Amino acid sequence: MFSLLFQFILVPLVLLVFWFPFVVSIVLIVLFFLIEVSGIAPTLFKVKPSKELKLTPDEEKIFSEYYVFFRYRLGAQDISRMFAIMQVATVLFVPLFLYKGLYIPAGVFAVNYIVLAWFAPKLNPVHYLGDAIKRGKLTYMKEYKLIGSVSEKIANHLSGKEETTSERSKAE
């Protein structure tokens, strides 16, 4: 939802950048900074899961690493989507700012691209790991399955069920 609002704000700025590049670069830096702080800050906290979830040590590690995804799934996915839009915008803005002689804003956006590439997968790991697996990087399969297992245990805990399908299959 917020990613759509972000797109509505970004499109006029893309058009205005040709006439007012310095002013738009400052507005974009502030806008990107505010969105990034709201998306990045929660990923910096390592939260231990509740004992009631009965997670294995590997699952606890995954829960702690992707806590924002498990706790605020829709919001994390939306901010991850905004990060992807910001990366595309950065690819457009950096050459334009370099052409206009705005080297400092171009450098800020170039660094921003790298920062976003590092944090976006933490907000939506299912998308990024699934994409990597589809491209043949099967080393991510274990982590992908652990995320599914943790998600299932959280859903079962919230609904009041005790055992997961993986626990039932082990019992059989």
Distances (CA, A) of 47 to 37, 68, 74: 18, 9, 19
Say if residue 158 is exposed, middle or buried (CB neighbours under 10 Å; 0-12, 13-18, 19+).
Answer: exposed
Q: How far is Cα 171 from Cα 164, in angstroms, rounded to an integer?
A: 11
Tens of pLDDT along the chain (172 residues) come to 567 788 888 888 888 888 999 999 999 999 999 988 888 888 787 777 778 888 888 888 888 888 888 888 888 888 888 899 899 999 999 999 999 999 999 999 999 999 999 888 888 898 888 888 888 888 889 889 998 888 888 888 888 775 545 555 555 5
> Are the beta carbons of 78 and 1 closer than 8 angstroms?
yes
The per-residue pLDDT for range 20-70, each reduced to its tens digit, is: 999 999 999 999 999 888 888 887 877 777 788 888 888 888 888 888 888
Predicted TM-score of the model (pTM)? 0.80
